[in-house]
Structure 1
Amino acid sequence: MIDLAKLRAVPPFADLSDEQLRWLGEHLTEVDVKAGAVLAREGETKPVFFVVLEGECQATKFSGATQIPTNRFIAPSFFGGVSLLAGTPSPGTVAAATDGHLALLPERAFKELIVASEAFSRSIFRSSLDRLTALEASVRNREKLAALGTLAAGLAHELNNPSAAVARTADCAVETLAMLKDAAVALSHSAIPPDAMSALDSLGVRKGPGNGPAADALQQSEAEDALLDWLAKLGIARPWLMAPCLARIGIRPADLEPLAARLNEEQFAAGIRWLAATLELRSLVEETRRGAVRISEIVKAMKSYSYMDQAPQQAVDLHDGIEDTLTIMHHRLKQGVTVRREYDRSLPQLVVYGSELNQVWTNLIDNAIDAMEGKGEIVIRTGRDANDAVIEITDNGPGIAPEVMPHLFEPFFTTKPLGQGTGLGLDISYQTVVQRHGGEIRVDSRPGHTTFQVRLPLAPRGEASK
């Protein structure tokens, strides 16, 4: 029989009577475990209360795809009470950190002891609350760090494209500038008439970017081939270098035929080289400008999203926060998600914790993308209902199962596979909207239509009726 002195050393059993302790000993099963043995696995049901008499056990929990340590149970200690009390699967995985000696109490005996001993039940409830609070705080902080890492990776990806484009076009601009210099020298030696020079210049302006209908890839390729063949027949050297930039802005052989008829071969060749180099340089400068503007937009959105260098609570336009969030999440949306905006711009500014609300929009939009498996439509709608600002985020995914709905905002509840979700995104959103801002968050779901509705008071609840 188990040593009752060892049992009394375990905190929940310290105040049991001798009779209760003997009863407990009769219902316990002793086991020896080797280091590394898994005693309870996250997400699985284990109807046993574990008592650590010798050795040490390590608890871990998935956060994203990473297992993080959450607790250590060093003898004399215990674990497993949370799952038995709540009737839920194990919130984490527990494995033996060293060789050890444990005692197992079946669920039925555990619950009998809860009813029979007030001291035992008080100890179990207190320790369970403390452990759940510590676990939630630990995983919540980890979740925020993981979200920050994902956000940083997305931003790096978004910044990489325009910054790479700027670097690439800058290199090309150096080469094109050298070509333009050579073309200008050849142009000066050809003694091209001033009126022909003006015609070339005006052709570049008249046919410039945005001055004509956009051609699709096939039409563009055909136009380049036609112009390349025409220039080659006229004896123009390396026409493949000039045809693409001329065709890109809509210049066709018919536009150049009047000049070709007026100028000799040397003059026309010099003029075409100069025009092509000028247009190419203009195109490169415009591409560089677009890349720089995109970088500026991303940096501006990030500063607004995080409310960098600003007070935590201030009057904000909700639409600005939503748009900043969409900009930051562009890397997730561009793979197949369209966003339709139905904004009521008459909504007044709200005094809120802007960066925390932006995290709510991030969580809801991220969940919508996951629900649609990266392809579908998200509708973001804002409006006013009495004294509340109403924000709705709707996706056309498969919907939420009825049995899942009551558990949506419970901490650690997730329908995602193990390692892909911590179940804290909606919990954090609920805490932010309801407890932090005195609002409400509601859900309506059916196949093809799931709406998360966030209601925020336009004024603090105490002032709304004044």
Structure 2
Amino acid sequence: MIDFDKLRALPLFTDLSDERLRWLAEHLTEIHVKAGDVLVREGETKPVFFLVLEGECLATTSSVARQIPTNRFVAPSFFGGASLLAGRPSPGTLTAATDSHLALLPEHAFRELLRASETFSRVIFRSTLDRLTSLEATVRNREKLAALGTLAAGLAHELNNPSAAVARTADCAVATLAILKDAAVALGHSAIPSEAMSALDSLGARKGQSSGIAANALQLSAAEDALHEWLGKRGVEQPWLMAPCLARIGITPADLEPIAGCLSDEQFVASIRWLAATLELRSLVEETRRGAVRISEIVKAMKSYAYMDQAPQQAVDLHDGIDDTLTIMHHRLKHGVTVRREYDRSLPHLVVHGSELNQVWTNLIDNAIDAMEDKGEIVIRTSRDANDAVIEITDNGPGIAPEVMPHLFEPFFTTKPLGQGTGLGLDLSYQTVVQRHGGEIRVESRPGRTTFQVRLPLAPRAPASG
């Protein structure tokens, strides 16, 4: 039988009589566990109450495929009351952190003590409330950090593409500049007539502005082959290096025939080398410009998304926040999700916490993408209804099961596999919309159409209590 002194060391049992302690000891089952032994897994139902008599146990919960610590129970301590009170599976995994001595109290004896001992019930309810509050706060913070990490990873990927393109084209531009220098020297030595030089320069400028004939890859390939063959017959060395940049802007053998007819072979070869190098350098500079513009757009969207260096609450255009969110989520959209915007641009600016609302759009769009399994259409619609701004995010996924709908905004409720979701995204969205901004968030769903509707007051009003 368990030593009464060990039981009395627990604050749960300070007011129990010796008779009740004997009754308790008769209902307890002692176990000795090794460090690392799992006592109960997240999502598992185990109808026992745990008393830690010696040693230490660790509670963890899964978040984005990782186990994060949420609590430690150092002897003398206890855990498991919240699951028994709620009749729900364990919210986390409990593991022995050290070799430990525990006692297990079955559910029926646990409930008997709740009725018989005021001290026991008070300590249980108080500790359960404190632990659930702590757990929720911990997981909320980790959820926000995990979401930030996911966005950062996506942004890094999005920035990598244009930055790599800029670096690559800069290297090519250096090499092309050297080729252009050699071509210019050869052009000077060949004493090409000024009229032919003007014709070459005009041809490159005119064709570049008209965007050429490259309607598709097949046409472009055919045009390159024709130029390749024609240049080779004219004695141009390595024509396969020059044909692509000429064909890309629509230059054809017919365009070059008049110039070739008034030049010697040496002059024509020098002029073609100069023209091809000039056009290639122009193309590389334009590609570098596009990469730099894309980097600037991403950085600008991220600063606006987070409202960096700005007041936390201010008048904002909701559409700018939604567009910024879509920009930084591009890595999730580009594999098969199309977005259709139906904006009512007459909506006035709203005084809101902009960065917090952007997190709401992120959660709703991310859920829509998951529901459609990365393929489908999202429609984002804004409108005005009386004194509210209405934002609707609709996906054409399979819909939400009727039995799930009542639980959507409950904390920790999720239909995703263990480790892939904490069930706090919609709860955080609800708190932001309802409690922080005095708005409403609704959902309607049927197969092929799910709509989350966010309603925000055009004029500030008192947030909902809760």
Name the TM-score class by shorter chain: over 0.9
* 1:171-250 equivalence runs, <5 A: 171-208=171-208, 211-212=211-212, 214-250=214-250
SS at match of 1:207: helix
SS at match of 1:91: coil
1:14, CA displacement in angstroms? Answer: 2.3
Q: Give the Cα separation in 1 of the matches to 2:419 and 2:213.
A: 50
Q: Give the Cα separation in 2 of the matches to 1:228 and 1:254.
A: 13
1:109 pairs with 2:123: no
Range with bigger deviation, 61-70 or 255-264:
255-264
What's 2:51 paired with? 51
Report Cα offsets for 1:367-398 as digits up to 9, x if no partner. Answer: 11111121111111111111111111111112
Report Cα offsets for 1:77-112 as digits up to 9, x if no partner. Answer: 111111111121111100111222222122222223
What's 1:358 paired with? 358
Range with bigger deviation, 309-318 or 255-264:
255-264
1:12, CA displacement in angstroms? Answer: 2.4
What's 2:37 paired with? 37
What's 1:152 paired with? 152
Which amino acid is the alignment partner of residue 438 of structure 1? G
What's 2:293 paired with? 293
Q: TM-score, normalised by structure 1?
A: 0.95
Report Cα offsets for 1:339-367 as digits up to 9, x if no partner. Answer: 11111111110111111111111111111
Q: Give the Cα separation in 2 of the matches to 1:424 and 1:147.
A: 11
1:308, CA displacement in angstroms? Answer: 0.6
Range with bigger deviation, 102-111 or 168-177:
102-111
Which amino acid is the alignment partner of residue 412 of structure 1? F
Which amino acid is the alignment partner of residue 70 of structure 1? T
1:22, CA displacement in angstroms? Answer: 3.6
What's 1:92 paired with? 92
Range with bigger deviation, 207-216 or 269-278:
207-216
Note closer, same or farther for the CA distance 1:118–1:214 as it changes in structure 2 (3 Å cut). farther
Q: Give the Cα separation in 2 of the matches to 1:276 and 1:387.
A: 62
1:74 pairs with 2:74: yes
Which amino acid is the alignment partner of residue 81 of structure 2? G
Q: Give the Cα separation in 1 of the matches to 2:135 and 2:35.
A: 23
How many residues are paired up?
463
Report Cα offsets for 1:130-186 as digits up to 9, x if no partner. Answer: 001111111111122222222211111111111111111111111111111121222
Q: Give the Cα separation in 1 of the matches to 2:11 and 2:382.
A: 54
What's 2:404 paired with? 404
Q: Give the Cα separation in 2 of the matches to 1:205 and 1:272.
A: 15
1:7 pairs with 2:7: yes
SS at match of 2:208: coil
What's 1:390 paired with? 390
Note closer, same or farther for the CA distance 1:345–1:214 as it changes in structure 2 (3 Å cut). farther
Which amino acid is the alignment partner of residue 371 of structure 1? A
Q: CA RMSD in A?
A: 1.7
1:330 pairs with 2:346: no
Q: Give the Cα separation in 1 of the matches to 2:333 and 2:288.
A: 24
Q: Give the Cα separation in 2 of the matches to 1:444 and 1:92.
A: 31
Report Cα offsets for 1:201-235 as digits up to 9, x if no partner. Answer: 12111211553454212221121111101110111
Which amino acid is the alignment partner of residue 368 of structure 2? A
Which amino acid is the alignment partner of residue 288 of structure 2? T
Q: Give the Cα separation in 1 of the matches to 2:213 and 2:236.
A: 28
Which amino acid is the alignment partner of residue 207 of structure 1? K
Range with bigger deviation, 164-173 or 117-126:
117-126
Which amino acid is the alignment partner of residue 406 of structure 2? P
Note closer, same or farther for the CA distance 1:69–1:202 as it changes in structure 2 (3 Å cut). same
Which amino acid is the alignment partner of residue 192 of structure 2? I
What's 2:125 paired with? 125
Q: Give the Cα separation in 2 of the matches to 1:252 and 1:449.
A: 51
SS at match of 2:69: strand
1:462, CA displacement in angstroms? Answer: 5.5
Q: Give the Cα separation in 2 of the matches to 1:32 and 1:192.
A: 96
Q: Give the Cα separation in 2 of the matches to 1:215 and 1:434.
A: 51
* 1:271-350 equivalence runs, <5 A: 271-350=271-350
Q: Give the Cα separation in 2 of the matches to 1:462 and 1:96.
A: 47
Q: Give the Cα separation in 1 of the matches to 2:5 and 2:80.
A: 22
What's 1:371 paired with? 371
What's 2:63 paired with? 63
SS at match of 1:69: strand
What's 1:423 paired with? 423
SS at match of 1:338: strand
Which amino acid is the alignment partner of residue 107 of structure 2? E
Range with bigger deviation, 392-401 or 4-13:
4-13
1:17, CA displacement in angstroms? Answer: 4.3
Q: Give the Cα separation in 2 of the matches to 1:26 and 1:116.
A: 16
Range with bigger deviation, 377-386 or 19-28:
19-28
Q: Give the Cα separation in 1 of the matches to 2:277 and 2:93.
A: 66
Percent of matched pairs sharing the same residue: 84
Range with bigger deviation, 114-123 or 384-393:
114-123
Which amino acid is the alignment partner of residue 27 of structure 1? H
Q: Give the Cα separation in 2 of the matches to 1:457 and 1:114.
A: 46
Q: TM-score, normalised by structure 2?
A: 0.95
Note closer, same or farther for the CA distance 1:143–1:191 as it changes in structure 2 (3 Å cut). same
Report Cα offsets for 1:412-460 as digits up to 9, x if no partner. Answer: 2221111211221111111111111111111111222111111111112
Q: Are the equivalent residues in 1 in contact too, given 2:213–2:249 (CA < 8 A)? A: no
SS at match of 2:368: helix
Q: Are the equivalent residues in 1 in contact too, given 2:213–2:220 (CA < 8 A)? A: no
1:126, CA displacement in angstroms? Answer: 1.1
Q: Are the equivalent residues in 1 in contact too, given 2:61–2:70 (CA < 8 A)? A: yes
Q: Are the equivalent residues in 1 in contact too, given 2:335–2:374 (CA < 8 A)? A: yes
1:270, CA displacement in angstroms? Answer: 1.6
Which amino acid is the alignment partner of residue 257 of structure 2? E
